[in-house]
Chain A
Amino acid sequence: MTERRATITGVADTPLGKLPGHSTQDLAVMAAEAAVGDAGLGWDAVDGLLTTPPLVGAFPRHAAVLAETLGISAQLRHAGTVSMGGASSLHALVTATELVRTRRCRAVLFVAADTPRTGQRRADSVGAFAAMRHPVWEQPYGLSNVSAYALLAQAYLWRHRLPDDALSSLPVPLRAHAQTNPSAVYRDRLNRDDVRFSRMVSSPLRLLECSPVCDGGAAFVVTDTTAARADMPDIALVAHGQAATFDSVSFGGDLSATGAELSAHRALQAWGHRSQDADVALLYDSYSITLAVLLEALGLCPPGAAGEFAGDGGLGLDGPLPVNPHGGLLSHAHCGGAAGVHHVTEAVRQLRGTAANQVHNARTALLHAEGGILSTHATAVLQAA
């Protein structure tokens, strides 16, 4: 049987920020409706559903509950809950594409939403992140997510003999991007000193190097090209890679080798190009150190040079490869368990030519996401036809 060609044909973001009165399920349904509508499909066309577990309002068998809420349970040929942390959206994009290519489904909907900002007490959301650390080898030491990233950051700074504030330049260009994106949650001016003198959370990471969580979500639809909108370019997944070298930092040795390089290598080898050949990059940026590690793993700057690279305009909209033109997790939105989905919807808008901060003539988008503590990695290349 010949393979079908798959394309991302519908995308939608919900409102973002503090959304009291909206549950995670409300936002998921809102995103799903809008994405199916954007794809120009009716509900009867959707025969695949993927989702990711939220921090607030997760059900056992989350995808099955979302399907029954949407009233599409019986028509689904495939439903699944992808639980790879921040890499879930890219993992789901790969799975959705393969479901369509192999004719198991014609239209796969992916939905991610969460309400960590107002859906529960702030302490409970912070606690939910802390509960992700290994219960046997990390929680007895009080390790939280931010402290785990801080250990990675300090090891990185020491390895490259960099000063404590070497990563403080990374959030600044992302805020500049957010300032001209009306949907971004954080749009106040931000300079490097603001970052450098913000409150220490877990050394060497300061408050403004950590992405703040908010409520919101997004969804996308992958169909075969014959079912796609005629007025939009086909957007195909042309290469991808996945990798992990550890899940918990306790199993990560000296923290110098994450799965980032391996995932990037697998994807770039499949693509047959260098990362610099993309037109726009959407890179997971939960913390300053996250973005630094990914920039270097993708070969966009030399090892140890990410801070300098960002400070010199390497991420800018007018640079050779704009990074996170929507503002990223650090300034656009980090929606808890849904974090990362907006990197995908932004990539699609860039390739459609409809983004708020449109990169001129963007035809190819490079995406890299990670979940956990630089644990699960996925790299993808999207191309507009």
Chain B
Amino acid sequence: MTDTAGVAGHADTAAREWWELLAQGRLCLQRCAGCGTAQHPPGPICRSCHRRDHLAFVDHDRRAQLVSATQVQQSPHPAFADRVPYWLMLVHLGCGAHTLALLPDPPAGVALAPGRTGTVQPGQVDGSPTLAFYPDTAVGAQTASETDTTADVDHGDTRAGAHHD
């Protein structure tokens, strides 16, 4: 993985692979074919059925729903100290999987509210990969995307899935 904060020593194999995929522009979720669980963050074993031999990364459709948000006014992290204030979000990727994401461009006139739909995209901070959340802005898009999200992300799609064990 691109070493974001000297973290390589803390990352397990699944984490390294996930960050490498993100650096290549791919957002993946780890799915356990044994029990159907989609888990994020990924890990060496399924945290639901505790098996390791059915885990695979599957591409995510990038649709997400806002769960929580904070506008950070001061940051002790060197890469973020000059970026304040910035928005940090917790979003739901579907199937119970959640992730942190940055909000690079708070859209004017769009209230941040629970359940707001949007798209997560790979982004960068100081050359290191992160995820960014872009809320849907147009009224029509909001309605359509809510329908999409209700239908849930397609975690069964393994056409580009990378097995990691």
| Chain A residues proximal to chain B, CB less than 8 Å | 123, 126-127, 129-130, 134-144, 147, 150-155, 158-159, 199-205, 249-255
Which residue, of B5, B6, B96, has the highest number of chain A Cβ atoms within 10 A?
Answer: B5
Give the number of residues in B that approach A within 8 Å (Cβ atoms): 39
CA distance A150 to B41 in the complex (A): 20
Pair A254/B98 contact, Cβ less than 8 Å: yes
CB distance from A289 to the nearest CB of B (A): 11
Which residue, of A136, A150, A152, A250, has the highest number of chain B Cβ atoms within 10 A?
Answer: A136
CB distance from A303 to the nearest CB of B (A): 16
Q: Known contacts being A151-B88, A250-B99, A250-B100, is A140 close to B7, with CB within 8 Å?
A: yes
Interface residues of B in 120-163 (CB under 8 A from A): 125, 128-130
CA distance A114 to B68 in the complex (A): 33
Identity of the chain B residue whose Cβ is nearest the Cβ of A127 in the assembled complex: B76
CA distance A129 to B74 in the complex (A): 13
Pair A130/B76 contact, Cβ less than 8 Å: yes
Pair A136/B74 contact, Cβ less than 8 Å: no
Q: Which residues of B contact A150 (CB under 8 A)?
A: 70, 72
Given contacts A140-B7, A151-B70, A158-B68, 12 further A-B contacts (CB under 8 A): A134-B10, A135-B10, A140-B129, A141-B100, A144-B76, A147-B72, A151-B69, A155-B90, A250-B99, A251-B41, A255-B67, A255-B68
Contact count A vs B, C-beta below 8 Å: 110
Q: Which residues of B contact A127 (CB under 8 A)?
A: 76
CB distance from A334 to the nearest CB of B (A): 17
Q: Mark B70-100, 1 if CB is under 8 A from A, else 0.
A: 1111111101100100101010100010111
Q: Indicate if B35 sits at the interface (CB-CB under 8 A).
A: no
CB distance from B7 to the nearest CB of A (A): 4
Identity of the chain B residue whose Cβ is nearest the Cβ of A203 in the assembled complex: B71
Contact partner, B72, options A134, A135, A144, A158, Cβ 8 Å? A144
